[in-house]
Homo-oligomer: A and B are copies of this chain.
């Protein structure tokens, strides 16, 4: 069963203390789709310009990503550039050129409309909602978001939250959305906005799942060196949804293991610029780190 993923498809120029990289394959949907692809087929919905490198289309295809939903429009691909500080915790955006993304209207090919697992990766909530309108009876919908939408499209985001099974967001966003600084109190309040499951990402401190069965406290995978954290959150969400769609069992157990799968994929993501490390991954390396995390958390 495919995972349907909508989000941004972009070119990223990234500056870190370790190096500088121009026009890497980026965007929330790209990171999420590659991550999800390790567990099974992916249907991508996005838009790129005619300048989009053919090698990136080949990369998607190599990962079994269905491109029927990827629009190629006259104009330039969304281009983001940003810079990380020495400790890698803070980044600042140097430039955002929307290009063809500005007029993006995601349309689902007929074959996508029966999708059971839908990842609304980080884009404007009205676009996420527009995709959801076109899916018949999804089994599980996970939405990602970012501070930009909390600040500029809060009503649309709140409307969307009533329609999703799960929301993933980072700690600061959770605090802002809930209006409370305590993470656990914030998660409880976000449930009241709609999502049955709330997943709060804490970067190097792991993540927390809140759901009907209580808390799941997930660690991050210990990394002694972070090369480029761009896309780690998108990779986390993609890995999680890929795992969820392609494994059986009770949903809460799958969510827990899916979060660990996403955590591991995000750790690999951070080990190279852009998608360079992730795209080199073998499935066995993911299982290996999942087992390691099991050993590192047992007591």
Contacts and interface: CB of A to CB of B under 8 A. Distances in A.
A184 interface: yes
A219 to B, nearest CB: 4
A299 B256 contact: yes
A87 interface: yes
A218 to B, nearest CB: 8
Interface residues of A, number: 36
B296 A184 contact: no
Interface in A205-262: 205-206, 208, 214-219, 222-226, 253, 256-257, 259-260
B217 A296 contact: yes
A188 interface: yes
Nearest to A218: B299
A276 interface: no
Interface string A177-191: 000011111001000
A183 B299 CA distance: 21
A294 interface: yes
| Oligomer: number of copies | 2
A205 B202 contact: yes
A90 interface: no
Contacts of A297: 216-217, 297
Given A188-B224, A205-B206, A214 B181 contact: no
A204 interface: yes
A217 B219 contact: yes
A184 to B, nearest CB: 5
A282 interface: no
A18 interface: no
A54 interface: no
Given A181-B87, A260-B299, A215 B205 contact: no
A79 to B, nearest CB: 30
Nearest to A259: B299
A231 B144 CA distance: 38
Given A215-B296, A217-B219, A217-B293, 13 more contacts: A86-B181, A184-B224, A188-B224, A202-B205, A206-B219, A208-B222, A214-B296, A219-B219, A256-B299, A257-B299, A259-B299, A260-B299, A294-B299
28 contacts: A86-B181, A182-B223, A182-B224, A183-B204, A183-B222, A184-B222, A184-B223, A184-B224, A185-B224, A185-B225, A188-B224, A205-B205, A205-B206, A206-B219, A214-B295, A214-B296, A215-B296, A216-B296, A216-B299, A217-B293, A217-B296, A217-B297, A218-B299, A219-B219, A253-B299, A256-B298, A256-B299, A294-B299
